[in-house]
Amino acid sequence: MVHDIIFSQRPVVGVVDAGSNTVKLTVARPGRDGGVDELAAAAETVRLGAGLARSGVLAVDRIEAAMAALHDFAAIARRYGATRLVGVATEAIRRAANGPAFLDRVRAETGWEIAVISGDEEAALTFRGLALDVDLTGMVVVADIGGGSTEVIVAESGTIQHAHSTALGSGALTDALVPSDPPTAAELDACAVAATAVLAAIPLPTDGPVRLIAVGGTGEYLARLVSAAHHVGASEIAAALRLCREHPSHRLAMRLGIPPARARVLPAGIAIVRALADRLQPLRIEVARSGVRTGLLLATFAELDAANAASTADGGKQPVHPLHSAQLTRGN
């Protein structure tokens, strides 16, 4: 009974991942087993990084699309009783000259406290979240393919050996090399060549069996495209790219049940997977949900536990979860 009372008092946290393609939400509380008890999730493809390579700034219409999504996500999190609203911003906001101003506006209008993280920090969060649900024994290469960057993590026996953040993303490649919809074979080949050139600078394992895990939407939609579950044969990548050449983004979107804007950048993402598979020659490509939000949730839960322990040590009668009341009242 006491355990149940304590567990019922565990905090609810909302986290967002503000990526270059998609803004994603998870609302969760600590699970009984030290994991994550997910209460709600949502995603909105806003293409925050669209045109960034040319202009150096986040486009006004993309900012407004992201703001609308973040307002909605804050409302969802509050409905579930979230006491903290935290998030991470990745490549697009890292590079944009107006990224800091955008995050200031997000904080003021919605209450989301979003931090810009480095590629190494993104890789660490991804791996931490992935380890909660995926067996990471053996030699593993994890590829988190985003809209503006790809994080490549090399790990052995569950420990990161090295990680690399590359300016190689499905949205960036689409903007630069894929003007056609559907893409031509030459355009997708150009994406694979560009990806191969970037990946050549990364030391990847070449001896013995290597597992390749593609996390996030690219891996998930690749598997769905070829009617696979949790892994894709290397030979199926060619079949997936052929389907991308045959279907414009609106038809691809209908087939996969995703927004057309997300389907538009998927072929370039699959071309990145192709380049990795050509380099590593894995028997198959495993796919998994992105670990960034799960990793951020675990880190936030640990922070709250530490704050509670400090409060108790200072003589507090009960653990007190830090409530960001200013966050929770803004934007209502």
d(CA 264, CA 180): 10
How many domains is the chain partitioned into structurally? 2
Verify that 46 and 171 share a domain, yes or no: no
Residue 316: its pLDDT value, please? Answer: 53
Task: Give the DSSP letter of residue 80.
Answer: T
**DSSP, res 57:** S
Tens of pLDDT, residue by residue over 93-142, are 999 999 999 999 999 999 999 999 988 898 899 999 999 889 999 999 99
How confident is the prediction for the chain on average, in pLDDT?
A: 88
- Which H or E element spans position 326? helix 325-329
Do 150 and 273 fall into the same domain? yes
60 close to 98: Cβ distance less than 8 angstroms: no
User: Comparing C-alpha atoms, which of 66, 54, 53, 69 is closest to residue 102?
Assistant: 66
Q: Is residue 72 part of a domain?
A: yes
What is the pLDDT averaged over residues 251-276? 96
The domain containing residue 9 runs over which residues?
2-119+291-329
In this structure, of 100-114, 232-246, 271-285, 308-322, the range with the lowest mean pLDDT score is: 308-322
Going from the C-alpha of 159 to that of each of 127, 137, 145, 286, the distances in angstroms are 9, 9, 20, 18
Q: At residue 330, does pLDDT exceed 60?
A: no
Average pLDDT over residues 43-50: 92
CATH number at residue 194: 3.30.420.150
Position 7 confidence tier, pLDDT thresholds 50, 70, 90? very low
One domain, residues 37 and 69:
yes
More confident residue, 5 or 199: 199
- Average pLDDT on 32-59 reads 92
Look at residue 90 and tell me whether its pLDDT is greater than 60. Answer: yes
Same domain, 50 and 193: no
Q: Is residue 128, in this structure, part of any structural domain at all?
A: no
Same domain flag for 147 and 76? no
Q: Which residues, in sequence order, are bridge partners of residue 29? A: 37
Are residues 98 and 208 both part of a single domain? no
> Can you spell out the DSSP letters for 182-232?
SPPHHHHHHHHHHHHHHHTTS----SS--EEEEESHHHHHHHHHTT-SSEE
